[in-house]
């Protein structure tokens, strides 16, 4: 299924903005009333932003924004990573509330925060897929919910059927850094020809980058010429 920017989509965005004005909500972090965009102005300003000097490939801090040593030693299959925030307090609380507390309204906030990055040009946007078991447990794919408003706002075709996660692997967070690449190997499949296409991959958090790297590898095997990660937040320290 491919979703494109439409008049209906623009109307939905307009009505959502109107509802936000008519039905103000308390701040998700401090509880202050009438937070216009789920967070009050103070909490929004306090969110930890990704440092300006970061590696253009993996988004880890790097002097003068140069390619970091890790990416020079082991070049990833993806070509760039765009992240707006650092995955630290209180961003971690917001992401957990979204994924496990089913506060789906946060998807729109996350998309708006991500749009603060320079415009990303691509032929197609693909959310990182979940396994069927994880999808049944959670009830939704957080990457899809974030990607929908991003695709509409940027006029990029959103494809929800091009890829699938075919292996329900152990959680990456529970594994040492060196084991994560082996754990995620062959976990994805691509069902379409991506020849000569630039692809933007959407997810909520980039931790080690192993999952996104394996996904980019599969996309390039099916012809993608460029793969750009677009995530809300980046974890800055790897686990040992």
For residue range 33-53, what is the model confidence (pLDDT) as tens digits? 866 678 998 999 999 999 889
Give per-residue burial for 5-30: e unless 16+ CB within 10 Å, then b: beeebeeeeeeeeeebeeeeeebbbe
CATH class as words, domain 49-234 = alpha beta
Least confident of 31-35, 51-55, 64-68: 31-35
How many whole angstroms separate alpha carbon 157 and alpha carbon 174? 34
pTM of the full predicted structure?
A: 0.85
Return the DSSP state at 162. S
* Residue that has been written with the tokens 């089913």 in this structure: 102
Q: Where are the domains of the chain?
A: 49-234
> For 212-227, what is the mean pLDDT?
97
Q: What is the pLDDT of residues 69-83, one digit of tens each?
A: 999 999 999 999 999
């Amino acid at each position: 299924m491919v979703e494109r920017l439409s008049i209906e989509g623009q109307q939905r965005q307009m009505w959502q903005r109107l509802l936000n004005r008519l039905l103000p909500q308390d701040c998700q972090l401090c509880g202050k009333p009438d937070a216009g965009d789920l967070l009050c102005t103070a909490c929004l300003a306090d969110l930890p932003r990704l440092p300006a000097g970061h590696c253009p490939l993996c988004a880890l801090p790097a002097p003068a924004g140069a390619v970091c040593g890790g990416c020079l030693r082991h070049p990833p299959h993806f070509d760039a990573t765009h992240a707006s925030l650092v995955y630290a307090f209180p961003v971690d609380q917001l992401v957990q509330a979204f994924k496990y507390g089913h506060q789906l309204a946060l998807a729109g906030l996350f998309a708006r925060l991500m749009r603060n990055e320079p415009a990303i040009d691509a032929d197609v946007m693909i959310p990182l897929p979940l396994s069927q078991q994880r999808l049944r447990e959670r009830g939704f794919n957080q990457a899809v919910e974030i990607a929908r408003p991003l695709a509409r706002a940027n006029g990029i075709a959103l494809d929800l059927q091009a890829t699938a996660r075919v292996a329900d692997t152990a959680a990456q967070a529970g594994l040492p850094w060196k084991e994560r690449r082996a754990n995620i190997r062959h976990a994805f499949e691509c069902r379409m020809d991506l020849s000569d296409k630039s692809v933007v991959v959407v997810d909520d958090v980039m931790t080690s980058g192993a999952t996104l790297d394996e996904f980019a590898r599969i996309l390039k095997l099916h012809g993608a010429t460029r793969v750009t990660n677009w995530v809300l937040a980046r974890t800055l320290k790897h686990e040992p």
